[in-house]
C-alpha cells in the first residue's frame, strides 16, 4: 500500500492578507481536518534560523548531566524535566499495555496561575531561556494567526475563537529520543492522539514520526525543510463532535544517534467550556462537556507518573 500524501498548506497568501486567501485556505484546512487530521504548513513566517536555535537549545539541555536536569524536575502541573521513561501513554487505547516511553523531555509553560506555578529554568545554560522564549513567542503568534482559519473552516465568524483562546493553555516541549532497540510495546512515544486544539511541530531532520490512517495503517511522515507538521488534537475533535479528526501518531528513533523534537501544544483558555460548536450539533453529543482546565488535569494524571503519585498523595 502506498503511503498517503500528507497535504501541504501554503500559508503565505493568507498571512499576506491576499483577497480570498482566508476562504480558500480555510477550505483546504477543512478538507484535511475531516479526512486525515495531519498537514504540513509552509511559508508560515517563523524564521528557519530561530527553529535551528531552538533545536540546538534542546540538544544543549539534554546534554547536561542527569543531576543538572533533575534539579528542574517537573512539578504536578507538568512544568520542568521529565526523565527517561517518566511518562507512559495511558489516555489512548490505540495500543494496549504500553511500556514507559523511551524519551526524556523539558516542558515549558508561561508564568501565572494558568501555567500552574512559577517558571522553572535550568541553571548553567546561558541563553537557553532567551532562545526558548523567543521560539515560544513565535509559535504563540503563529497559533493566534491560524485561529481565523479554523473558525472559517467550521463556517464560523473569523473571530469566533479569539475570546476563547486569549489566555491559552500552551506548552512547549523539548524532547530527546535516545537511540534505542525497541521491544514489544516499546516506543519513543507510544501511539496516541494529542490533547491539544492543535499541535505545531517543527520538521525534524532525523525521521521517526509516524501517523495512522483511518484504516489502521501506519506511515512515515515525510520531512519537508522549513515546514511545520500540524495536527488536530482531542480538544478540537471533541469540540466538533468528532467531525475534525484527532489522528493517532507515534515516534521512534532507530537512527543510531540522538533525535530531538520541539512540539508546541495550543489549547483554549483554561475556563473555556469544550462543548458542541455551532454547526457541529446535528448529531447527539459524543463527549461530555468540560473545561479545558479539567480536561488537561485528567490528561496529565493519566500519562505522567509523578502527577499520578502527587494526586494519590
The low-confidence residues of the chain, meaning pLDDT below 70, are 1-4, 89, 91-93, 95, 111-119, 303-313
Query: What is the rounded CA–CA span in Å between residue 54 and residue 133?
Result: 9
Closest CA to 277 of 150, 142, 144, 146: 150
Percent of the chain residues topping a pLDDT of 90: 65
d(CA 235, CA 177): 26
What's the predicted TM-score (pTM) here? 0.91
Three-class DSSP labels, 100-122? CCCCEEEEECCCCHHHCCCCCCC
pLDDT in tens, 237-288: 999 999 999 999 999 998 899 999 999 999 999 999 999 999 998 889 999 9
Tens of pLDDT, residues 138-174: 999 999 999 999 999 999 999 999 999 999 999 999 9
C-alpha 29: how far from chain center: 17
Phi/psi for 149 (5° steps) reads: -65, -45
pLDDT of residue 34: 95
Q: Mind listing the domains of the chain with CATH numbers?
A: 8-312 (2.60.120.330)
**pLDDT value, residue 307:** 46
pLDDT given at position 114: 43
Mean pLDDT of the chain: 89
Distance CA 124, CA 70 (A): 13
- What is the pLDDT, as a whole number, of residue 24? 98
Q: Which three cell numbers stand for residue 287?
A: 463527549
Listed in order, strand segments (DSSP E) in the chain are 8-10, 38-42, 80-82, 104-108, 169-177, 189-192, 198-202, 209-212, 218-220, 228-232, 249-251, 259-261, 263-267, 273-274, 290-291
Beta-carbon contacts of residue 227 (< 8 Å; ≥ 6 apart): 8, 40, 41, 42, 44, 203
CA distance 287 to 42: 33
* Structural contact between residues 211 and 247, judged by C-beta atoms closer than 8 angstroms: yes
- Selection from 268, 67, 243, 84 nearest residue 162 by Cα: 268
| Residues 6 or more apart in contact with residue 124 via CB below 8 angstroms | 64, 68
Tell me which residue of 109, 111, 106, 136 sits closest to 122, measured CA to CA: 106
How far, in whole angstroms, is CA 93 from its chain's centroid?
19
Q: Is 132 left (phi over 0), alpha (psi -120 to 50) or beta?
A: alpha
Nearest one of 76, 114, 95 to 301, comparing CA atoms = 76
CA distance 266 to 195: 9
Amino acid at each position: 500500500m502506498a503511503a498517503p500524501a500528507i497535504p501541504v498548506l501554503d500559508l503565505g497568501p493568507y498571512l499576506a492578507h491576499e483577497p480570498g486567501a482566508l476562504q480558500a485556505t480555510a477550505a483546504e484546512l477543512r478538507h484535511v481536518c475531516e479526512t486525515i487530521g495531519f498537514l504540513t504548513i509552509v511559508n508560515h513566517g517563523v524564521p528557519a534560523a530561530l527553529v535551528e536555535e531552538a533545536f540546538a537549545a534542546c540538544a544543549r539541555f539534554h546534554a547536561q548531566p542527569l543531576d543538572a536536569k533533575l534539579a528542574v524536575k517537573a512539578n504536578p502541573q507538568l512544568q520542568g524535566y521529565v526523565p527517561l521513561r517518566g511518562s507512559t501513554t495511558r489516555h489512548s487505547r490505540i495500543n494496549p499495555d504500553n511500556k514507559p516511553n523511551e524519551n526524556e523531555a523539558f516542558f515549558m509553560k508561561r508564568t501565572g496561575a494558568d501555567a500552574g506555578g512559577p517558571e522553572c529554568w535550568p541553571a548553567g545554560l546561558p541563553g537557553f531561556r532567551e532562545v526558548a522564549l523567543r521560539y515560544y513567542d513565535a509559535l504563540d503568534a503563529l497559533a493566534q494567526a491560524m485561529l481565523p482559519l479554523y473558525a472559517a473552516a467550521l463556517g464560523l465568524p473569523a473571530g469566533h475563537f479569539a475570546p476563547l483562546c486569549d489566555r491559552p493553555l500552551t506548552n512547549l516541549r523539548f524532547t530527546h529520543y535516545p537511540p534505542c532497540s525497541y521491544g514489544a510495546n516499546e516506543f519513543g512515544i507510544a501511539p496516541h492522539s494529542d490533547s491539544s486544539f492543535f499541535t505545531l511541530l517543527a520538521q525534524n531532520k532525523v525521521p521517526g514520526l509516524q501517523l495512522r490512517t483511518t484504516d489502521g495503517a501506519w506511515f512515515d511522515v515525510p520531512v519537508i525543510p522549513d515546514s511545520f507538521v500540524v495536527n488536530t488534537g482531542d480538544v478540537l475533535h471533541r469540540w466538533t463532535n468528532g467531525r475534525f479528526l484527532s489522528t493517532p501518531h507515534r515516534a521512534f528513533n532507530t537512527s543510531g544517534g540522538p533525535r530531538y523534537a520541539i512540539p508546541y501544544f495550543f489549547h483554549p483558555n483554561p475556563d473555556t467550556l469544550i462543548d458542541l460548536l455551532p454547526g457541529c450539533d446535528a448529531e447527539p453529543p459524543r463527549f461530555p462537556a468540560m473545561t479545558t482546565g479539567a480536561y488537561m488535569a485528567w490528561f496529565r494524571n493519566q500519562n505522567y507518573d509523578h502527577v499520578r503519585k502527587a494526586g494519590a498523595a
